[in-house]
Structure 1
Amino acid sequence: MAISFQKAFGIHQHALLVRADRSEVLANNIANTDTPGFKAKDLDFKKALENAKSNQGFHLEKTHERHISVELKKHDSAVMYRVPNQPDTGDGNTVDLQVERSKFTQNALEYRASMTLLNGKIKGMKKALAGGGGR
């Protein structure tokens, strides 16, 4: 009988990847705190997770061997600009460092939770494959 990793891991494998992608978006916001005109972005987790589950990505075919390969992440359509909480300070930057740090920390905790759940699933599978007799 074949093992279906899709069934075994469920949504957790996709959630882990989306959380990693979201951390990149949030880290980019933090890195551009002082960049004039930079607009803060965030990932619509629900939309990105649906895209990841249904494998809705972009596939661009090369029509010539000298063309550059382009790989767009599945979450690109789920990245949106964040509505600023504070008035414009005059430079057009919408990044609120405290908000970004808070969201980054929350995302890191949720990433860790997804990783813990996946590790538990893997340990359970290993135990089942080994017979689970405690030998």
Structure 2
Amino acid sequence: MLDKLDTTFAFAKEALEARSYRQGLIASNIANADTPGYKAVDVDFSSTLSSALAHSNQGGVQRGLAGSAENASDLPLVTSDPVHIARSNTIGSDVVRYAQVRYRQPTQPSLDNNAVNLDAERVAFADNAVHYEFDINLASEKQLLSAIQS
């Protein structure tokens, strides 16, 4: 029973983190709309979520060997003082680690080589926000349903 509940909430957690990460990328694109030479970036939500879920089901962060070059975030963090901020592997770690950030193809050339199309970014931002809100509502409904049934 708890495994099924944990799996359900793990999916909701990864989906919300992927949407949040994508929202940050789109917001960065909008903020840099006037930056000369800026290349707009985005992630494919479904492949990011699939990769994060696959890796979290296989043990996620514990899978790789410490110090392996296969994943830079598996390298040990070296600090010169014990009060330095420790790396956290909790919030967004699987999503950020396995997200494949890609440059967007510009739809119109610009004189300053900026690849941001504000209209497309606004549409992507609104679409992602609606999906994020839906995912939150879905997770809340599942919480209520599981609380009632248990």
Q: Same fold (TM over 0.5)?
A: yes
Q: CA deviation at 1:91?
A: 0.5
Query: Within the alignment, does 1:114 sit opposite 2:129 as a pair?
Result: no
Q: Tell me the equivalent position of 1:44.
A: 44
Q: 1:91 aligns with which of 83, 87, 112?
A: 112
User: Aligned ranges for residues 1-135 of structure 1 at < 5 Å?
Assistant: 3-4=2-3, 5-9=5-9, 11-53=11-53, 54-55=55-56, 58-62=73-77, 64-66=78-80, 69=86, 73=93, 74-75=95-96, 77-87=99-109, 89-129=110-150
Pair 22,104 (structure 1): closer, same or farther in 2 beyond 3 Å = same
> RMSD value over aligned CA atoms?
2.3
Which of the two has greater helix per residue? 2
- Corresponding letter in the other structure for 1:3: L
Length-normalised TM-score, structure 2: 0.73
Length-normalised TM-score, structure 1: 0.80
Q: Percent identity?
A: 32
CA distance in 2, matches of 1:30, 1:127: 43
- Corresponding letter in the other structure for 2:128: N
**Structure whose alpha-carbon radius of gyration is higher:** 1
Q: CA deviation at 1:70?
A: 5.2
Q: CA deviation at 1:44?
A: 1.6
- Corresponding letter in the other structure for 1:111: Y
